[in-house]
Amino acid sequence: MRKNLSIYIHIPFCVKKCVYCDFLSFGADDPQINRSGAVRKAYVQSICRELLSYKSISKDYIVRTIFIGGGTPSILLPGEIMNILATLRSIFKVDEAAEITIEVNPGTLTAIKAAEYLDAGINRMSIGLQSAHNDELAMLGRIHTYEQFLASYQTAREAGFRNINIDLISAIPGQTLHSYLDTLERVLKCRPEHISSYSLIVEDGTPLAEDTELLAKLPDEETDREMYEATRKVLEMSGYKRYEISNYAKPGYECRHNIVYWTMDEYIGLGIGAASFFNGRRYSNTLDMKQYIRTMEDVFDKRSADEIYQSQALDTIRHIDETVDVDTLMEEYVIFGLRMTRGISAADFYDRFGHSLYDVYGDVIRSYVASGHMKDEKGMVFLTRKGIDVSNRILVDFLHDENK
Ligand code: SF4
């Protein structure tokens, strides 16, 4: 029987870098990107080559979810996404009911692209709005306005997308609880199937971290907390269910791809910086664009796709994480799993690791059940609302001592 597989495809190009962004992405003015688009074209070809390198094992798998993320995948030219997905389908069997998502940024989506995505089998779109207020978007260094978002949203709906996520950020410099609530209200008027809202994190090395003026405008901790609580109240009142700490969906529209990460099922990541958890190994690709493209060219010049997989020639661009032992996997399984409101299954834990969840984590689970932060019902262990509100503190207690 074929095993389930998910595939992530990283498209690291953006129009311009946002001030808070520490994702692996390049603005058009980045010296690593040339104006003729040669790097973009070579990158798309390299993704297709990387896909080919899995040809010899693909018959054992069926692809249940695909996520094209970035970066800004919608920056690719018409035909390029189609090319990648056609290559993928020529190698892997893709389930007819597969969830196939593309991330899109307002200002980069056209009706032609939206139609192409649907033709290529993409059935879910994730749009990065972040805020419905143009002054807040400007603070974040976003390239688009709220009005451009509305136009992109309409383009997606008119093209026929029936499963749309809208990404939001709270605790933006200059944002107030009032303006955040207004953003939520405007988003709800669009009636998307899924909404994600993450609190802004100031990452070292980003322009935001160096900008004292912007930093001075960050909402205080209490306002941040109020925004977080408002998200749950407002969205739950409007028929969205929180299924993960920061993710809300109408019934049946939970993001299946993200659930694969949180349940630690197998996935392959393609492109620079992409991580994989596949065949018992955890590895991530080089962050270096030139090395990635050059290696894909060299390797494919000399070998067939079968030889490439078997010789593991691509290991030169892959960092294999050798530290993954069963203790680490159990820890990650619990920490990712408890992010979801459904929690973790004691039976699944035993099937995977051959240990009882209670033998490994009994003390910590019992103490949080006693304090009302966790529940254990019908074989599922999960955080209560009280527990979710302080989840960071609780999850640390599931780390083995040396990692605390
Ligand atoms: S659009 Fe997304 S990936 Fe691109 S720079 Fe902005 S935050 Fe980063």
Tell me the pLDDT tens digit for each residue of 45-103.
999 999 998 988 999 999 999 999 999 999 999 899 999 999 999 999 999 999 999 99
Domain ranges of the chain: 3-262, 343-403
| Contact predicate 196/246, CB 8 Å | yes
Spacing, Cα 144 to ligand 1 middle (Å): 12
Spacing, Cα 335 to ligand 1 middle (Å): 27
Closest ligand 1 atom to 14 CA:
4
What digits encode the pLDDT tens for the residues 294-318?
A: 999 888 877 777 777 766 677 788 8
* Residue 337, CA distances (Å) to 113, 197, 334, 380, 393 in order: 35, 19, 5, 11, 15
Q: Is the minimum distance from the CB of 23 to ligand 1 under 6 angstroms?
A: yes
Residue 244 DSSP symbol: E
Cα torsion angle, 134, 136, 139, 141, sign: negative
Closest ligand 1 atom to 16 CA:
5
What digits encode the pLDDT tens for the residues 346-404?
A: 999 999 999 999 999 999 999 999 999 999 999 999 999 999 999 989 999 988 765 55
What digits encode the pLDDT tens for the residues 149-174?
A: 999 999 999 999 999 999 999 999 99
Q: Is the minimum distance from the CB of 72 to ligand 1 under 6 angstroms?
A: yes
Domain 3-262: CATH architecture, name and number where available? Alpha-Beta Barrel (3.20)
Shortest CA distance to 136 belongs to which of 211, 230, 214, 189?
214
pLDDT score of 38 more than 80: yes
Position 255: which residue type? C
- What residues contact residue 64 under an 8 Å CB cut-off, 6+ apart? 4, 5, 6, 95, 98, 99, 256, 260
Cα–Cα dist 358/368, whole Å? 13
Q: Of all helices (H) and strands (E), which one includes residue 137? A: helix 134-140
Q: Residue whose CA is closest, atom 8 of ligand 1?
A: 21
